[in-house]
Structure 1
Amino acid sequence: MSSSTLKRILHRTLNPKPDSTHSSSISLFTTVSSPPSDPSNPTSPPDPLVTDAVSILTHHRSKSRWSTLRSLTPSGFTPSQFSDIALRLRNNAHLSLRFFLFTRRNSLCSHDVDSCSTLIHILSRSRLKSHARDVLRLALRIPSSEDRVPKVFRSLIKSYNRCGSAPFVFDLLVKSCLDSKEIDGAVMVMRKLKSRGIYLQITTCNALISEVSRRRDASTGYKLYREVFGLDEANKVKPNVNTFNLMMVSFYREGETEMVERIWREMEEEVGCFPNVYSFSVLMETYCFRGMMVEAERVWEDMRLKGVVYDVVAYNTMIGGLCSNLEVTKAKKLFEEMGSKGLECTSLTYDHLVRGYCKVKDVDSAMAVYREMKSKSFEAEGLTIEALVEGLCDGNKERVVEAAEIVKEAVRESEFCPSRKCYELLIKRLCEEGKMDRALSIQAEMVGRGLKPSQETYKAFIDGYGRAGDEETSSLLAIEMAESLKLRDEEEES
């Protein structure tokens, strides 16, 4: 951003119409890179307090300067005085920041947006971006009778030239707005700058689009993308692969898979923008989600032909898609290929395979993969545990104890919380096997987690005790079930 460009911005912002009263402000633009040696008003005499404070801060030792300042100014500084002092110290941004923190810690200045803006510029021109963002977030919290973001923006514009700031201060403002959940304010700043030919950095544009997509919806984010990059006009900032990736992910999460393909085509048409391995993974995941495995495998092969190196995310995406669509044999081959290439599997890799084998009713293979997973200290997801339980219970009733042990171990080691369906399946199968004590212990755990016994649970115990010849307990449970159902119906009616 050139000084002449910024001159036009500030002139339009501060002077919507020609006005001789702003002539002193406009003259500051002639020295953007070299601000005046005396930042105070040259037509008024120097403020002795400002001069003394600068002298103390620059010449006293670190240990004595703060106590001396407190003695000098028991009543503190005005925001304007702070700005003048900070500007005198602008070549020592760390000292300016310490002075700011000192005045806040000792309540020596009621900082306003303008005093914060001065420090923000000083920190920005010294590339102390994280500190600048901290002060920006503070400025955005200062109570105001008007909208806070526009006020901070105008203050930064007004003081930009005087402080000899850096252009990315406005990127920091947008990111700070996003940190503070001021989405509309961030969009407003982008539009104000863009209308004057000023463009945010690509990382800031991407952060803005991402946050809008996340907090609003993917379609709103896409509209903003077209506005930010001015796709129908000449624009100095072009979208990059990360721009397209974040939009594809946003649409995928909302189930709008056709839009993922549309974004992909737009990325291919963008000059100088090439999809990376993550881009391919998102597209493959989209096809896998829709059960379009032929298309997903075509993308996989396209990656190979284009020399894109497969990473763990790409392998997990394809393995997960194949397992979900019952093509476990192909998934296992990719799993073995990962090992041959020296790529470390993740817990997600094993989760996909275990659930895949359970889907095709190959419980023995699922258990083999699960044991390998445990041997590498990976924790299975809840859905994986429940798939194993269902597979063991449905495949062979004699393996229900094995299923119960898996649940017990998962609860103990990984704080796994079984669902009602999981509990009821175990109880039903244990009761069918006549293992009533084990079924009762699981029922107790179920109640301890706030899950009241359902009609199916009662029936499992009634039938179990009946098969065991304990008709008395079976009858008592039948009476209790009837009373429980009656009470539930009365509660629902009330």
Structure 2
Amino acid sequence: MQAKAFSKAQDMNPDNATGLTAEAICKILSKGPSSRVEESLSNISVEVSPELVIEVLKKLSNAGILALLFFRWAEKQKGFKYSMESYNALIEALGKIKQFKMVWNLVNDMKHKKLLTKDTFALVARRYARARKVKEAVETFEKMEKFGMKLEVSDFNRLIDILSKSRCIENAQELFDKMKKRRFAPDVKSYTILLEGWGQQQNLLKLNEVYWEMKDEGFEPDIVTYGIIISAHCKARKYDAAIEFYHELEAKNLRPTPHIFCTLINGLGSDRRLDEALKYFEKFKASGFAPEVPTYNAVVGAYCWSMKMREAYKMIDEMKKCGVGPNSRTFDIILHHLIKAHKTKEAFAVFQRMSSDSSCEPAVSTYEIIVRMFCNVERVDMAIRVWDQMRVKGVLPGMHMFSTLINALRLENRLDDACKYFQEMLDVGIRPPGPMFSNLKQALLDGGREDTAKILSQKVDKIRKTPIIG
């Protein structure tokens, strides 16, 4: 079967062949324990191109240990070349499981191979920020100078953007206030980043403070600024205020962007103001912009909020005619609304149609939605069926998906199966969330399986305390 997959890949055009080969490699890796990666891959006959390595590492972004082991195997193969992209993809996967010591080893490797750029530091800083290690994220920014790179205002903007997008806007604001006094002169982008951060937190008071400070410093709001302000008011469900800002930018002869139309359609649609949402969709089309997926997805969502599913499906047909999708996000939106309306059968039918359509295959987020749906209605058998279908496709689940299935199995007292998936989670290098493991451990103890609980505890302690070396 594996040989067939690789043979088929060789007969296709290069891009498709790379994707198919990467999928086949991920299937092999996902079937066996991480300790046998070299053995599992030893029988495949494939030239390890830089493109293939990057593709596999991206697919393994939720499985840091497997990503590292694959990278170490790939290094020894014919055709392998080190690249900034492959290192960054590996750093991303390891950063997700907080293996920062190994991450810095890779950064040093990149320096020696002259592959290190500011993008890598941004990647490391983002993983620290997502792990709520703000001090380390800032130190990563400072370390760039030690690696021979000159710090500029664009780098400072990148750092506050990383903090802001990692829900650390207070830290971003504090850093901004400190840096502008002694190190960097902020530009309009610095302010728009902060505006976006406070907008994400729906803190319109702080957003207005930054807005007026920006104007006091001589920076006039541009179309990007207006887009952020409109988005912030939509997030805070202040739709009439958002519309006022839209009229203000029109009065200044600024041309609304597709993003602004998309934001208003999303916001008004979620407030079940469907007619107004569709009015902005017509304005978008009349503005001469090329059709694009996010705006059409917003319209699909607007119909779904008003439970006009037939119109939502018609919009998908229109997307196909315009050559802009649909994509997995389109179907995720529809599935979310069907499940919320307790239309489980219709949701699964949509998922099955999607699975059989090679032009729009389910993403890991789609599988997660369906697995959670079946777990919530106590159909764990169907959840496992979908899970197995996902694994056959070479799609690797993330932490939340593992947790959903393991919790559902525990609640059904299927502890052997729960432990099996828990072990699989550890094998791919995902650290289990504390509450999920505590509940599983307690269920084992309640069932008189102290030995199993002890073994799992030891394994979890080991993965938490032992840094990866490779």
Q: TM-score range by the shorter chain?
A: 0.3 to 0.5
- TM-score normalised by structure 1 residue count: 0.44
- TM-score normalised by structure 2 residue count: 0.46
Considering Cα pairs closer than 8 Å and 6+ residues apart, tell me whether 1 or 2 has the greater RCO: 2
